[in-house]
Structure 1
Amino acid sequence: MLVINGREAAGILTMGSCITVMEAVLADLSEGDAVQSLRQVLPLEERNLLGLMPGYLRREGVAGAKMISIFPHNHGQSLPSHQGVVALFDAATGVLLAVVDGQSITAIRTAAVSAAATKLLAREDAESLAILGTGEQARSHLEAMVQVRGINRAKVWGRTPAKAREFAAAMSSRWNIEITAALSVQDAVMDADIICTATAATEPVLHSAWVKAGAHINAIGACRAHERELDTALVAGARLYVDRIESAIHEAGDYLIPLSEGAITADHITGELGGLLTGRIPGRGSSSEITIFKGLGLAVEDLAAAFHIYKQALALHKGVEISF
């Protein structure tokens, strides 16, 4: 068994390579070559969660699961909100092949999936970006967005203004683009072509009245049925895509709450990202249409990323081999 820590995993799984891996596995998911069950979530104290996410990649011949802890209040303690591991098994023999750091995978693959959605749904001329949140996913989404669109300016908003200013200063120099800290969500998003919501919010932080025509939104923060980042009017007036319909109808408050209010019908979801990748469903209908990708995170994404890391680690002699 190979143990691959977070530093090694992050060094191997570049954003560019991860976008390619995510596009392939999501297409496989839509074709039935990647399968998974719904995540099991065990509530802990103070909104903390422990999740188990199993899946199987038929083409790669591997199966496994991610076990992850989600502690939203860790942001205030200089700790990541998501921590865990991905266990990777040979699907033919049941042999445990690797244990890979899950935090680095989650940070990179989540943004890579949003990048895949943005490639397909954002207007080709999109150049302005808004990021809601200042944590790990905010940083990785900035990296992902600049790889798929010609972003030349960005605004970031966070509940703690000092963190937004720190983010803007650090990321401006890293990516050589103009990034400013916004004092309000409305200020951050009002001129944005692409909006990424990566917050710990349980009530809407992004409202329809603030979003301009033609914008694309990647909503990845809220992951439980009673939580959301987007208001009802925004979801109702947009074309909505998800990573997995089965997951969305059980877990996506951004969809379920407007549905319960009668603002949308059960068929409001246009389809899955994998269907877009394989050409089974339509994409953006016009340059003025607002599109939303609601990402919850999938087991098959974690397994595909872990398998890519495992193969590269073997080739590069990375990781620690342990008899198990």
Structure 2
Amino acid sequence: MSDILLSAAATAACLPYPALADELAASLTDSAVTVPPRLVQPLPGGASLFVMPANDATVAMTKLITFTPANAGTGRPTIQGDVVVFDIATGTRRLVLDGPTVTAHRTAAVSLLAAQRLAPNTRGPLLVLGAGVQGRAHVEAFVAGLGVREVWICSRSPASAEALAAHVRTLGAQARVVDNAAAALPDCPLVVTATPASGVVLDARPREDAFIAAVGAFTPSMVELGPAMCRDLMACGTVVVDTRDAEHEAGDLLQAGVDITALPSLAEIVRESRPRPAGPVLFKSCGWGGWDLAAARLAMLRVCAEA
């Protein structure tokens, strides 16, 4: 068991962001990838159990995680669980990855892939709303994958913002903590919203060359971006969803009355090699088992290479 059960640190080591973004792109063009709808089981107290299976021709995996919003601010993680990876040919369980680490890395790598394909301006500064696990992962991904050298951080917790700023500096980038995200938009072409999505945190017009990755809201009741901002980006820019599942999960867009069925998905952008759009871009990410499968594939490759 010790050979296949990877700690959070060992899981992270298997999933460097640039390589994971490449694996995500490869999985989107792999016809063998199968991803059934995820099961979301409501739990008492407002928590949820997520069951997310997927497979390709050689690897099968299931992510089992709990999402417990009540843990916020308690020192306990809001997301806990595992990703179990199997070899299809033998049925053997090959790896058990740390679920929260996979979630953080694959979510940030999806945003990185979207930015690589869609962002009009990848130089930064990067504005990050939310200084938790996802905020940290996105900073690491954009520094490693885009070469961002300046990060602005806005968080309702000054201590968390300062801690993330200190981490940014260890990555070789400059960091600044700001109090007003809307006021920072004119200076930041790259924006990530990675908050608990309990209410609108941004409702302002971005730069004409802005790329916004909204990742905090992944249920119909959650929201980070204001309705006016979503509708404005629909009118004057481009809105892309991570997968078709966003049609019933993207709270920001659903609450703004956006026709999500008419929006392109990241898979279509990658498969069709669509040109980089003009004007501001909103990338709405809700999560998908296929992203976890890509992480499992990369982890398998790296573990086998080291064996």
Say what the alpha-carbon RMSD is for the aligned residues.
Answer: 2.0
Structure 2 residue runs of 5 or longer lacking an equivalent are none
Matched, 1:206 2:187: no
One of 252, 264, 267 as aligned partner of 2:250: 252
Give the CA deviation at 1:67. Answer: 0.4
Give the equivalent residue in structure 2 for 1:186.
182
Q: What one-letter code is carried by the residue in structure 2 that aligns with 1:133?
A: G
Give the equivalent residue in structure 1 for 2:139.
142
Give the equivalent residue in structure 1 for 2:267.
274
Q: What one-letter code is carried by the residue in structure 1 that aligns with 2:96?
A: V
Q: Would you say how many aligned residue pairs link Structure 1 and Structure 2?
A: 301
Deviations 1:115-167 (A, max 9, x none): 00001111245321100001111111011112333423221011112221222
Give the equivalent residue in structure 2 for 1:321.
none
Give the equivalent residue in structure 1 for 2:19.
17
Query: Identity percentage over the alignment?
Result: 32
For 1:69-218, list aligned pairs within 5 A.
69-124=66-121, 126-172=123-169, 174-209=170-205, 211-218=206-213
TM-score, with structure 1 as normaliser: 0.86
User: Would you say the 8 A contact 2:61–2:296 is kept in 1?
Assistant: no
Give the equivalent residue in structure 1 for 2:259.
265
Deviations 1:26-81 (A, max 9, x none): 333xxx431212211112234321100111213xx222210011123434123332
Q: Secondary structure at the match of 1:35?
A: coil
* Larger relative contact order (Cα-Cα within 8 Å, sequence gap ≥ 6): 1
For 1:279-298, list aligned pairs within 5 A.
279=272, 281=274, 283-284=276-277, 286=278, 289-298=279-288
Report the Cα distance in structure 1 between the residues aligned to 2:38 and 2:93, rounded to whole angstroms: 21
Structure 1 residue runs of 5 or longer lacking an equivalent are 318-324
Q: Residues 62, 215 of structure 1: CA spacing in aligned structure 2 closer, same or farther, 3 A cutoff?
A: same
User: Would you say the 8 A contact 1:244–1:272 is kept in 2?
Assistant: yes
Report the Cα distance in structure 2 between the residues aligned to 1:125 and 1:5, rounded to whole angstroms: 33
Report the Cα distance in structure 2 between the residues aligned to 1:90 and 1:41, rounded to whole angstroms: 25
Give the CA deviation at 1:97. Answer: 2.9
Q: Residues 99, 175 of structure 1: CA spacing in aligned structure 2 closer, same or farther, 3 A cutoff?
A: closer
Give the equivalent residue in structure 2 for 1:242.
241
User: Would you say the 8 A contact 1:157–1:188 is kept in 2?
Assistant: no
Q: Secondary structure at the match of 1:4?
A: coil
Q: Residues 125, 145 of structure 1: CA spacing in aligned structure 2 closer, same or farther, 3 A cutoff?
A: closer
Report the Cα distance in structure 2 between the residues aligned to 1:23 and 1:52, rounded to whole angstroms: 23
Report the Cα distance in structure 1 between the residues aligned to 2:164 and 2:102, rounded to whole angstroms: 21
Report the Cα distance in structure 2 between the residues aligned to 1:220 and 1:120, rounded to whole angstroms: 17
One of 218, 223, 226 as aligned partner of 2:218: 223
Q: What one-letter code is carried by the residue in structure 2 that aligns with 1:208?
A: A
TM-score, with structure 2 as normaliser: 0.90
